[in-house]
Amino acid sequence: MTRRGPSLPLPVVMGLLLLGGLLDPPTAAAASLGEHALAWPSGEELWRVLTLQDYNTRVVIIGTTLLGLAAGLVGTFLLLRKRALLSDTLSHASLPGIALTFIVLTALGGHGKNLLALVSGAAVFCILGTAAVILIQRYSRLKDDAALGIVLSVFFGLGIALMGIATRMGSGNAAGLSSFIYGKTASMLFADALLIAVVALLVTVCGLLFFKEFSLLCFDADYAASQGWPVTRLDFLMMTLVVVVTVIGLQAVGLILVVALLIIPPAAARFWTYNLKHMLWISSLFGALSGLFGAGISALMANLPAGAVIVLTASLLFVISLVCGSARGLARQGIERLRLSRRIRHENLLREIYEMLEACGHDPAAAELDCVQPRVSFDALLRRRSWTPGQLRRTLARAVSAGLLAALPNCWEMTAQGWEEAGRIVRKHRLWETYLIEYADVAPGHVDWGADAIEHVLDAELVAGLEKLVPGGTLAPMPASPHRIAPMKDEAA
């Protein structure tokens, strides 16, 4: 029998296999089960897995892929319903159902390892666990996390105790029950894969049929109840789908790791979109890819449990989404913050130059008419704000590149385009200051702090509303600084 070594991330494995022609295939002695040396899969083994030539490989990969798809879909609603820990509670609550079913079947003289009976027992205890959580939340003052923690620990403790009894029964063989805890993907049968396929189809159809109702329930259950929607029944249906996926996932990844398939794919999908429909499909895709690649890597590398590799693959997708997600990824957020900080320094620079020249008695509005171009020095600008010399030089260089400033020896002057842009920025700033003084009762000496923080994110609609406070509206001249004059009065009042 060929032995395969420990797993590596899929891109690394693929890169090494491309160089397979340079590596000699492992010898029979090196591949024996008794040795522990690293043995890479050969090109033939890789091709057999990629083309699904082996029957067992086909069953396992198709089964885990469909399981991941169903878990990713129903896990999206579970995550948005803020019940992520409920899946962990349900998976642990299934253990006493499995052990108790085995004990009862064995005591009655039946076959204790009947898969359908064990799964049914797990489902019953999952429902009991859900009911226990709901009752504790509704009829006690405990919060959700406390209710989940109590039910999880009590049911899991009961399961461990019943497992101890099951293993000591003289008339039964409980050797395979531990597979429900850690998973037994490699021994998946065609009947198991068929059951997963049927359940995945049903869960997908239910999720799509009740998409509107589940969406309303996830985002505003109180509003749904006020509109007459059967919130309790919809919530029960959603939890039923979670229970079904949890139960069929026990055989594949085990009760401890099945929660990962329900939570990690939707959590990763949320970094890529703000649209619920898109999130639903991305989460299903991530769940399917986790099952596909996890089972494929486990088939290539021996002594690696497929359940653990599936979860690690899902975790890798989560890390990639966390960093590179197009909606909430860290890289995108960092780029947006960098752009915002640059825009803030750019607008602050133009406003400071405008106000410096205004304080010196120069009329910025007449600059284009009389061809007078006052200049500002680097040291004078540096004293105006708390920016560093490096930040100021970079901001000045970007303003010169944009055609807003003209660089002269040791000083800078405004261009016609720069005067126009600076006037727009200063006008927006002063309109917001005037609003704070007149309508928010902010003292003139303190108003600049609030205006300086908000003025950079005012959109066109808000600016148009502020213009209505000025007599003459947009045709009115530049408002004077509210720090040196009395605030404007609302003429309509």
For 61-113, write each residue's pLDDT tens digit. Answer: 888 888 889 889 988 988 888 877 777 788 788 888 888 888 888 877 766 66
The CA distances from residue 398 to 129, 393, 412, in Å, are 61, 9, 13
Q: Residue 305: pLDDT band by 50, 70, 90 thresholds?
A: confident
* Confidence band of 307 (pLDDT split at 50, 70, 90): confident
Residues 223 and 74 in one domain: yes
Cα separation, 290 vs 314, whole angstroms: 5
The CATH number of the domain holding residue 129 is 1.10.3470.10
Of the residues 419, 446, 478, the one at which a domain ends:
419
Q: How many CB atoms lie within 10 A of CB 163?
A: 22
Which DSSP symbol is given to 187? G
Query: What is the Cα gyration radius of the chain?
Result: 33
Residue 462 falls within a domain, yes or no? no
Give the pLDDT mean for 447-476: 71
Count up the domains in the chain and report the number: 2
| CA 313 to centroid of chain Cα atoms | 16
Q: Are residues 262 and 348 in the same domain?
A: no
Given this model, what pLDDT does residue 141 score?
Answer: 80
pLDDT at 321: 94
Q: 119 and 187: one domain?
A: yes
Question: What CATH number should be reported for the domain holding residue 353?
Answer: 1.10.10.10
> What's residue 388's pLDDT?
87
Q: Is the pLDDT of residue 228 over 80?
A: yes
Average pLDDT in the 468-479 region? Answer: 66
Is 474 within a domain? no
Q: DSSP for 288-342, please give it.
A: HHHHHHHHHHHHHSTT--HHHHHHHHHHHHHHHHHHH-TTT-HHHHHHHHHHHHH
Is the domain of 263 the same as that of 412?
no
Beta bridge partners of 377: 411
Residues 376 and 250 reside in one and the same domain: no
Q: Can you tell me the distance from the alpha carbon of 185 to that of 59, in angstroms, rounded to the nearest whole number?
A: 10
pLDDT at 222 exceeding the cut of 70? yes
Question: Is residue 395 included in any domain, yes or no?
Answer: yes
The encoded tokens of residue 368 equal 């284009």
User: What is the distance between the alpha carbons of residues 357 and 354, in angstroms, rounded to a whole number?
Assistant: 5
Which of 7-11, 305-309, 381-385 is least confident?
Answer: 7-11
Q: Do 258 and 125 have their domain in common?
A: yes
Q: Which of 189, 188, 163 is nearest to 178 (CA)?
A: 163
Residue 209: in which H helix or E strand, if any?
helix 190-209
For the segment 337-396, what is each residue's pLDDT rounded down to a tens digit?
A: 998 888 888 888 988 888 888 777 665 555 443 434 578 888 888 888 888 889 888 999
Check: CB of residue 122 under 8 Å from CB of residue 248. Answer: no
Closest CA to 155 of 129, 177, 122, 136: 129
250 has a pLDDT exceeding 80:
no
In a domain, 425, yes or no: no
Residues 349 and 300 in one domain: no
pLDDT at 270: 93
- Domain assignment present for 250: yes
**Lowest-confidence segment of 38-42, 243-247, 269-273, 439-443 by average pLDDT:** 38-42
Beta carbons of 412 and 376 less than 8 angstroms apart: yes
Whether 1 maps to a domain, the answer reads no
Residues 86 and 162 in one domain: yes
Name residue 407's beta-bridge partners. 412
Question: According to the model, what pLDDT value does residue 367 have?
Answer: 46
- How many Cα atoms sit within 13 Å of 47 on the Cβ side? 5
The overall average pLDDT reported for the chain is: 77
On whether both 235 and 384 belong to a single domain, the answer is: no
Sign of CA dihedral 64, 67, 73, 78: negative
With a cut of 60, say whether residue 10 has pLDDT above it.
no
- Answer for the pair 422, 414: CB distance below 8 angstroms, yes or no: yes
Highest mean pLDDT among 134-148, 217-231, 315-329: 315-329
Single out the residue in 381, 402, 419 at which a domain terminates. 419
**Stronger pLDDT, 1 or 461, i.e. the higher one:** 461
Cβ neighbours of residue 469 closer than 8 Å, sequence gap 6 or more = 431, 434, 435, 438, 488, 490
Within this chain, do residues 270 and 367 fall inside the same structural domain, yes or no? no
Is the separation of the CB atoms in 4 and 36 below 8 Å?
Answer: no
Q: Choose the final residue of a domain: 280, 298, 328.
A: 328
Task: Report pLDDT for 311.
Answer: 86
Q: Has residue 449 been placed in a domain?
A: no
Dihedral over Cα of 174, 177, 178, 184: its sign: positive
pTM equals 0.74
236 domain-assigned:
yes
Q: Which domain holds residue 98?
A: 52-328
Rounded Cα distance between 273 and 129, Å, is 33
